[in-house]
Amino acid sequence: MSNIRKAFENGKAFIPFITCGDPDLETTEKLIYAMVEAGADLIELGIPFSDPMAEGPVIQEGNIRALKNDVTTDMVFDMVVRVRKTVKIPMVFMTYANVLFSYDLDRFAAKCKEVGIDGVILPDVPYEEKEEFDKPFSKYDLDVISLVAPTSKNRIKSIAKDAKGFLYIVSSLGVTGVRSEITTDIKAMVDLAKEVNDIPCAVGFGISNPKTAKEMAEKSDGAIVGSAIVKICKEYGRDCVYPVAKFVKEMKDAIR
Partner 1 sequence: MGKGRFGVHGGQYISETLMNAVLELEEAYNKYKNDPDFNRELEELLNQYAGRPSRLYYAERMTRDLNGAKIYLKREDLNHTGAHKVNNALGQVLLAKKMGKTRVIAETGAGQHGVATATVAAMMGMECEIFMGKEDCERQALNVYRMKLLGAKVHPVTSGTATLKDAVSETFREWTGRIEDTHYVIGSCMGPYPFPTIVRDFQAVISKEIKEQMLKAEGRLPDAVVACVGGGSNAIGTFYNFIEDKDVRLIGCEAAGRGIDTWETAATISTGKLGIFHGMKSYFCQNEYGQIAPVYSISAGLDYPGIGPEHAYLHDIGRAEYVAITDDEAVDAFEYLSRTEGIIPAIESAHAIAYAIKEAPKMDKDKIMVVTVSGRGDKDVAAIARYRGEDLYE
Closest to 214 in 3D by CA, of 227, 203, 229, 228: 203
Q: Near partner 1 by CB under 8 A, which window of 16-24, 109-117, 170-178, 224-232?
A: 170-178
Quickly count: other Cβ atoms within 10 Å of residue 248's Cβ.
24
Any contact of residue 209 with partner 1 (CB under 8 A)? no
35 or 148: whose CB is closer to partner 1?
Answer: 148
Any contact of residue 53 with partner 1 (CB under 8 A)? yes
Q: How far is the CB of 156 from partner 1 (least distance, A)?
A: 10
Positive or negative: CA dihedral 234, 235, 237, 238: negative
Any contact of residue 69 with partner 1 (CB under 8 A)? no
Any contact of residue 57 with partner 1 (CB under 8 A)? yes
Separation CA 40–CA 95 (nearest Å)? 20
Q: How far is the CB of 5 from partner 1 (least distance, A)?
A: 22
- Which stretches of 65-213 are assigned E, i.e. beta strand? 91-94, 119-121, 143-148, 167-170, 201-204
Helix (H/G/I), strand (E/B), else coil: 182? coil
126 or 243: whose CB is closer to partner 1?
Answer: 126
Any contact of residue 78 with partner 1 (CB under 8 A)? no
Q: Near partner 1 by CB under 8 A, which window of 18-26, 36-44, 168-176, 181-189?
A: 168-176
Q: How far is the CB of 71 from partner 1 (least distance, A)?
A: 9
**CB distance 90 to 98 below 8 Å:** no
What does each C-alpha distance from 100 to 105, 123, 153, 158 come to in angstroms?
6, 13, 29, 25
Q: Quick one: which of 26, 37, 51, 218 contacts partner 1 (CB under 8 A)?
A: 51
**H or E element in which residue 241 lies:** helix 241-255
* Number of amino acids touching partner 1 (CB under 8 A): 44
Q: How far is the CB of 239 from partner 1 (least distance, A)?
A: 26
Any contact of residue 145 with partner 1 (CB under 8 A)? no
Question: Binding pattern to partner 1, positions 5-44, x when CB under 8 A?
Answer: ----------------------------------------
Q: How far is the CB of 214 from partner 1 (least distance, A)?
A: 25
Closest to 70 in 3D by CA, of 122, 25, 117, 18: 25
